[in-house]
Amino acid sequence: MADTTKTPPPSFWEIQKKQQRISLFLFLMLFIFYFLTVGLISGAVLITAGVFLPDFSFFAGSFFYKYIIVVFGIALGLAGLNFIQARKNGVRYILRNLRARSPDPEDRYHLSFLNILEEMKISSGLPGLRGYIIPTVNINSLSLIGQDGLPAIVVTEGLLAEAGRDELQAVVAHETAHILKGDTFLLTLICSLAAFYEQLIDSLEEQRELSRPELKSPGRAKGSTQPLIYLASSISFLLLNFFVALVSQKRELLADATAVELSRDPMALARAIYKAHLANSFLGDSSLFTSLFLVPPDSRDIQDSPGDKLFNTHPPLLLRLKLLAEMAHKDVKAVIEEVRAREEQREKSRLLYSPLEDRGPDSQEKLRQLQLKAREALEEESVWLARNTRGQWDGPYVLGSLVTLPYFTPATRIKNLKENLEGPARNFPQVRFALFRQLKKQPLDPACQNKCPVCRTELTSTFYEGVRIKKCQGCQGKLVAMADLEKIFARRELAFPDRIKQKALAHGEALLAPNLKPPVLKEKPPALCPECGLQFTLRPFSYHYLMPVYKCYPCQQIWFEDEELEILQILVEDSTRNRQPANQS
């Protein structure tokens, strides 16, 4: 708990006063920036014109006077527009850009973060404190002031997974310190201002996408707006550099010091900063937000040279660690030692994952029986033929696969082998019923609902590394929401037996050899999604990891058979773990 006797935290009223002063100051700066830019550019144009036009003199008294007034007006207008837009949409834009989401109280890691926020809200006297989470395995945090004036702290899944409770508390305290000092307000506004042009382009893109919805994808096609984007990012970059010069590195050190006052644990903060520094690679998509973060998103590149000191938004790592360690009467070596010791402790406390193959021949035999039965049932239900666009009969299919066919419409000619009937699909009551249920977002076939797609055992709702999933107790298959995968990859609760590690290694090697077809690209039989009843699409997990998995795009779910998710976890962990505490100078 915070000790408020030493330095009472500023009241919210005081903070708001400060924010008003910051706003005014930034608006003035923005105005001066536009005044100079517009003035210089138009002045250069006019002077050049003066060379070619004999009767025209730029510096003639009356013209110059009018000219200044016009430039003044344009600059005021631009600054006003930019400012209003930033206050109105800036934070939403930043959050969307970072893919930040609200915490899920059902998730154990998220809940712990929410609890820490609540404690910090009380001990800091803030009227409210929101939390957001970025789904990435990187370790970082930042703070923002929302549109309604309430502060928010944003952390990554990586931080939640890697930091102990005390370390997370220290990081939240660090961000709270930024909020109390007014830094958060200043930086949020600066970033919102600088994002103005990118926002403009985004809204242009959105309008284009509305007319062509099929182009809607996360990495939008940016063909025709390429030069605009270039111009916008140059202006944003200029603006940002102009303003960031106003925000000194000292703020980070001050926030570290205030954080220690709030959390009383300098070593925890030092450990968190060091972990973040070790684990970090690039985060987000632009240098725009760099100054907001706990550690700069590509912190490993920062050296302690005088040049970098000028241009970096954050003070050098070693200085920060040294100052924090000194508060606990220790040194930087102790910080690194503690991180290493905790890491070892953690590795030891991981629970061993026990795949089906390690559970004896009995359970394997039982599973084989189940799978056989399931396959027989599927074959029995495969009574539908469909006439494709070339007039040939495809099939036989089960109902779920039939309506998933790319060319299927209610007018498609189909045949039921069991009833020996043929006609357009809409004439069959079974098809109408299935389409009706699909329309109502219910599973196509009530009999398949919540049944394992491979062995037809009833699925149970359970937690896997703190994430709610559906699991088949028969074959150990798992249905995981695509949005939750980053959490599972960030968290390291489970340890895997050597046999699975060997398999992962083989996969990894196959991926490295370009000529070798990965051994994992075997065919799998068609299977139905237990949520919606449509047939799964068999796709590689990602371009990086070519393991084929069952995906349901309408439900945004992936079905992993036993060991598949675990192999992917091992591969992703290996690729993100360049975080061996390296030799420190």
Lay out the site mask for Zn ion across 559-578 (x = CB under 5 A, - = otherwise). --------------------
Q: Give the separation between CA 471 and CA 460, rounded to whole angstroms.
A: 5
Residue type, 91: V
Structure-block tokens of residue 158: 């990586």
Q: How far is the CB of 519 from Zn ion (least distance, A)?
A: 23
CA 71 to mean position of chain CA atoms: 42
Structure-block tokens of residue 139: 């370790």
Lay out the site mask for Zn ion across 445-464 (x = CB under 5 A, - = otherwise). -------x-xx-x-------
Residue 135 touches Zn ion, criterion: CB under 5 A: no
Residue 474 touches Zn ion, criterion: CB under 5 A: yes
- Which residues are CB-contacts of 384 (< 8 A; sequence separation ≥ 6)? 395, 396, 397, 398, 399, 402, 414, 415, 416, 417
User: 205 or 531, CB closer to Zn ion?
Assistant: 531
Contact 136, 285 (CB under 8 A): no
Q: How far is the CB of 472 from Zn ion (least distance, A)?
A: 3
Span interacting with Zn ion, options 54-62, 310-318, 326-334, 555-563, rule CB under 5 A: 555-563
Pair type for strands 459-464 and 421-424:
unpaired
Lay out the site mask for Zn ion across 481-520 (x = CB under 5 A, - = otherwise). ----------------------------------------
Q: How far is the CB of 473 from Zn ion (least distance, A)?
A: 8
C-alpha angle with apex 487: 485 to 493, nearest 5 degrees? 115
Please tell me whether residue 481 adopts helix, strand or coil conformation: strand
Residue 142 pairs in a beta bridge with 154, 293
Residue 552 touches Zn ion, criterion: CB under 5 A: yes
Structure-block tokens of residue 429: 């009551």
Contact 344, 580 (CB under 8 A): no
Structure-block tokens of residue 257: 């010091």
Q: How far is the CB of 507 from Zn ion (least distance, A)?
A: 22
C-alpha angle with apex 207: 193 to 231, nearest 5 degrees? 45
Among 79, 139, 504, 532, binds Zn ion (CB under 5 A): 532
Q: How far is the CB of 451 from Zn ion (least distance, A)?
A: 8
Q: How far is the CB of 371 from Zn ion (least distance, A)?
A: 8
Q: How far is the CB of 140 from Zn ion (least distance, A)?
A: 33
User: 196 or 559, CB closer to Zn ion?
Assistant: 559
Among 75, 187, 267, 529, binds Zn ion (CB under 5 A): 529
Under the phi-then-psi rule, with left for phi > 0, alpha for psi from -120 to 50, and beta for the rest, what region is 360? left
Span interacting with Zn ion, options 15-23, 386-394, 476-484, 563-571, rule CB under 5 A: 476-484
Among 202, 381, 445, 531, binds Zn ion (CB under 5 A): 531
User: 79 or 528, CB closer to Zn ion?
Assistant: 528
Span interacting with Zn ion, options 53-61, 467-475, 479-487, 491-499, rule CB under 5 A: 467-475
User: 259 or 452, CB closer to Zn ion?
Assistant: 452
C-alpha angle with apex 117: 494 to 187, nearest 5 degrees? 105
How many residues make up the chain in this entry? 585
Residue 367 touches Zn ion, criterion: CB under 5 A: no
Residue 472 touches Zn ion, criterion: CB under 5 A: yes
Cis bond leading into 361, ω under 30°? no
Interacting residue ranges for Zn ion, rule: CB under 5 A: 452, 454-455, 457, 472, 474-475, 477, 529, 531-532, 552, 555
